[in-house]
Amino acid sequence: MPNQPRRSRLVVPSRSEHAIHLFLAALTLFAIGANAAEVIPPTPSAYFNDYANVVSKEAASRFNEQLAQFERETSDQVVVAVFPKMQSDSDIADYTQRVAQAWGVGQKERRNGVVLFVFVQDRKMFIQVGYGLEGALPDATAFDITERHIKPLFRAGNYEAGLATGIDLICKAIRGEYKGSGKTVAERKSGGAVTGLLPFIIFVIVLIILSRLFRKLGGYGYSSRGGGPVFIPSSGGWSSDGGSGGGFSGFGGGGGSFGGGGAGSSW
């Protein structure tokens, strides 16, 4: 009996499998859309950052110097960022944690950073607390600061007083956790650059002394009048990262990390 040709079997997915595939595709598209809609702002150059222009320049400068001095005294970094609105569709707690982590507020080994986020148009705020300060500034305290002290002032439209109150209470809550080095992270980095130039400067001084000595003895040496090289250290290595602009103290993140500690409020 001749062999009958085999018929190919067409595998048709079941309704349940088809539904699963559609769900996974929709979930992928949702994740892509969520990531595309989110923006992580660049690391700020100051401790107090008013991107929404809700306080005067004088107040912003005063807050910035207050927070810089706080780091000098305690080594804890507190940063304030006031934005017009959130640039993410995520929950404010999740979004601000990612931003604070990206900025690296606080020292890497102590993880002692805090960031107060304010989104004016969304009427939301959140205090993100680094791992190392969750004992000094627990969620309940962070919520108390935003809900009972900052919120009433924001509702009245007095952002300057609300921010001043929030900064004072955050600093009071964490003060005394660690004795400071007397310098901010930015100032320590600048000091390291100057220290690195010290051997070069000593070398130049010795070279100049030897050159003059050789000229007096009739030997060979470098002479600026004869077109010899003149070594002048670059001024860029001497300036502080945040020292420009009339004593402005710049912020420099130390690689701190955040695990979701903190709380916030809406007004």
Average pLDDT (39-56) is 96
Average pLDDT (177-205) is 59
pLDDT at 198: 59
Q: For strand 258-266 and strand 113-119, is the pairing parallel, antiparallel, or unpaired?
A: unpaired
**CA–CA separation, 156 vs 169, rounded Å?**
19
**CA–CA separation, 125 vs 162, rounded Å?**
11
Nearest to 118 by CA among 158, 77, 163, 75: 163
92-148 residue pLDDT tens: 999 999 999 999 999 888 999 999 999 999 999 999 999 999 999 999 999 999 999
Average pLDDT (189-198) is 57
Confidence of residue 263 (pLDDT cuts 50, 70, 90): very high
Share of the chain above pLDDT 70, in %: 60
Least confident of 6-20, 46-60, 181-195: 6-20
Name the pTM for this structure: 0.65
